[in-house]
Amino acid sequence: MTDTATATDARPPKHVVYCGVCTLPPEYCEYGGTTKKCSEWLVANHPDLHSHLYSEDAATKGMSNLSLDAQKRAEKDAQKKAAKAEAAEAREKTQRAASKVYIKRVERNKRKYVTEVSGLEAFGLDLKKIAKEFGKKFATGSSVTKNAGGTGDEITVQGDVSDDIFDWLQEHHAEVPEDNIELIEDKKKKASAGP
Amino acid sequence: MFKKEFVPGSRSKVKSSAQRAIRAKVLETYPKLEPHLDDILPKKEQLDLLKIPDRVSLYCLGGEPLFWQHMDDPVMPHLKVIHKYPWAFPRIRIDRGAIRFVLSGATLMVPGLTSPGGRLPGDEEAGDGYGNGGKELEAGEVVVVEAEGKETACMVGVLKMGTQEMEEKKKGPGIENGHYVGDGLWKLDLN
């Protein structure tokens, strides 16, 4: 931090550690709303930095030059932010538990099928990437398409690969619980589906 | 500017002539970056141009965002670049009380810079490299904002008011629409 005009040249780049929880540099974690988790992460990954940043001493030093009023406001604000972040997390969790992944086999032309996978986005997966993966894995066409209602996107894979997709999801994306995956075969057409 | 998280648009490769133009522009805007320019923008590497909402284009190298530009405004560095080479940019400092506002996307107001915790260039006693060689910064210049008691920069933006004027007025907006740590651009995942 003590640079003069002459010392600026050809210094190696500074390496900055970023928090694994909120992605901010650790000194700004307190403004991210997930301070507690960030602190835990820092203990686990960079204990020396943690002792430097979270010591009693540092906290009082930082606060001392703010007026009492401003301190109170800042604290209140931080609390509100933390509560907000917590609520958002809880909401996401329940949403995740409730949301389902549907793997649907649709008859296209007598013995030919396409497989439609919907609901993956609720688990934070990138549909475009997964579609590409499917295409590669099954060596078929695979794309992201609008679903029937036009309300969202789904992945359409050519061919009947519903069971394989089920297995693949469990193997590569364990964050999608097995119970939340549902296989659907179009009932009416099932009769003509053969074996 | 990036208060909300966004979805990036199309990604395309930058022509090598355009790449040279960007290089020249960066060098012109940030002359102190010159010794590091080959590390940041290697001559032979293929840059990518990412279109993001509000007519901002983001230049990145592989998965690393480097610079962004809003229409024909000055080219601005991404904060991760600033964190690596903090000494290569004109810097100012805000006091502790202002940090939380900046990090929630508010316009940076001048009192946060003129108070005892803040630092402006041109100050005799600024020290710590904030003096900028005793030169005042003009409105429209790109400036990196650091924070009292912190080592890394928290924001980058274009000055709305010259620093001389700030010293005199001590109120009003200082930087609008900057890029700060934790905003949409910061959280953008390129992979």
Centre a 10 Å sphere on the Cβ of residue B28 and count the other Cβ atoms it contains. 10
pLDDT of residue A57: 59
Q: Are the C-beta atoms of residues A101 and A181 closer than 8 Å to each other?
A: yes
pLDDT of residue A164: 87
pLDDT of residue A59: 58
pLDDT of residue A7: 46
Percent of chain B surpassing pLDDT 70:
93
User: Strand pairing partners for B176?
Assistant: B158
Among the partner residues A4, A61, A65, nearest to B117 by beta-carbon distance: A65
The stretch B59-70 carries a mean pLDDT of 89
Q: Are the C-beta atoms of residues A143 and A155 closer than 8 Å to each other?
A: yes
pLDDT of residue A93: 84
B79 and B98 co-located in one domain: no
B71 and B145 co-located in one domain: no
Residue B118 has pLDDT above 60, yes or no: yes
Residues of A near B (CB-CB distance < 8 A)? 1-5, 7-11, 13-16, 22-25, 27-28, 31-32, 61-62, 65-66, 70, 74, 77-78
| Gap between the Cα atoms of A105 and B157, Å rounded | 52
Among the partner residues B80, B116, B133, nearest to A5 by beta-carbon distance: B133
B80 and B95 co-located in one domain: no
Distance in Å, alpha carbon of A81 to nearest chain B alpha carbon:
10
CATH topology assigned to domain A100-193: Translation Initiation Factor Eif1 (3.30.780)
Residue B2 lies in a domain: no
Q: Contacts from A85-89 at CB under 8 Å and sequence distance 24+?
A: A85/A32, A85/A33, A85/A34
pLDDT of residue A3: 44
Does the beta-carbon distance from B129 to A2 stay under 8 Å? yes
Handedness of CA B20, B22, B26, B29 (dihedral sign): positive
* Domain's final residue, options B84, B117, B132: B84
Does the beta-carbon distance from B100 to A74 stay under 8 Å? yes
Of the two residues A21 and B82, the one the predictor is more confident about is B82
Of the two residues B26 and A72, the one the predictor is more confident about is B26
pLDDT tens for each residue of chain A, 195 residues long? 444 444 445 678 888 888 888 888 888 887 777 777 888 888 888 888 888 777 765 555 555 556 677 777 777 877 887 788 788 888 888 887 888 888 888 888 778 888 888 888 888 788 888 888 889 988 998 888 887 777 778 888 888 888 888 888 888 888 788 888 888 887 554 444 445
B80 and B38 co-located in one domain: yes
Q: Give residue-wise pLDDT tens across range B121-170.
A: 766 555 556 766 667 888 888 899 988 888 888 999 999 888 888 888 88
Provide, as residue numbers in chain B, all residues whose Cβ is less than 8 Å from the Cβ of A1.
Answer: 128-129, 151
The stretch B66-76 carries a mean pLDDT of 89
Close Cβ partners of A132 (under 8 Å, ≥ 6 residues apart): A142
pLDDT of residue B13: 92
The stretch B22-39 carries a mean pLDDT of 89
| Gap between the Cα atoms of B189 and B191, Å rounded | 6
pLDDT of residue B113: 87
B43 and B123 co-located in one domain: no
* Domain's final residue, options B84, B113, B128: B84
Tell me which residue range forms the domain holding B47: 11-84
The residue ranges of every structural domain in chain A are 26-97, 100-193
Of the two residues A189 and B105, the one the predictor is more confident about is B105
Mean pLDDT across chain B: 85
pLDDT of residue B67: 92
B130 and B173 co-located in one domain: yes
